[in-house]
Amino acid sequence: MLVALAVLAASALTTYASPSSRAATPDNNNFVSVKSKTDFWCAIRVLYSPVLVLTQVPSPNSMIMPKDAHTNIGDSERPGGTTTYCSPAAHNSSTAQGTFSDAFWTRVEYESGVGRGGQKFAQLTGCINPRTVDRLNPGDEGGQYDSSGGQRGTGNPVGSTCVGFKHYVEIVEPGGNRACIRCCNDAADCPTNKDTQGCPVVIPGNYAGCD
């Protein structure tokens, strides 16, 4: 599954990288790809920027979503309960995958850079319209998908990965109109033990106006 990768943009700049660069629109080569173990990749090439890059609009991307309609995130955290959803620009490589509406992200920023330990990361953070995805319940408080959590550290969904990175963490909060995903090489940059604390804590970014 593909995902280009959020508290405030300024705090992200301070926390992760300097110098940094900012662009009004994204380079179409800036994205991150995440998929479930049994899914196909969305058709996107991955490029990492060594300095922090902030963009106001996401490049082609994708995320893990519940497989069944009108499902709470927590209820989808079971074997076979998830699937890959690609953005329209990231056209699907399998009919088993879903496609996000252009209206899914109402406000989103993509960032890439290096974390506290000097290892690369990439993330998407922002506001969503959960009513554009029939797999979500708009009132659901949400939950977390990741590559390294779970009882055996094999991820949820088990075996899910982010291409080009060792770890990822994704949180979807339909009830708060928020979503976020970060791919990273240092597990400390993708914490999996804060799943009940929400996007602003797990992946600091710009969530202004989501509620």
What distance separates the 2 farthest-apart alpha carbons in the chain? 44
162 is a domain residue: yes
Q: What is the pLDDT of residue 27?
A: 36
- As to burial, measured by CB atoms within 10 angstroms (0-12 exposed, 13-18 middle, 19+ buried), residue 119 is middle
pTM of the predicted model, to two decimals?
A: 0.76
Q: What is the pLDDT of residue 111?
A: 87
132 is a domain residue: yes
CA 120 – CA 16 distance, rounded (Å): 10
58 is a domain residue: yes
With H, G, I as helix, E, B as strand and everything else as coil, classify residue 144: strand
211 is a domain residue: no
Domain assignment of residue 164, given as a range: 9-202
Q: What is the pLDDT of residue 95?
A: 66
Pairing of strands 52-55, 20-22: parallel
2 is a domain residue: no
Number of structural domains in the chain: 1
Which residue blocks in the chain are alpha helix, DSSP H? 9-16, 73-76, 199-202
User: What is the mean pLDDT of the segment spanning 69-87?
Assistant: 90
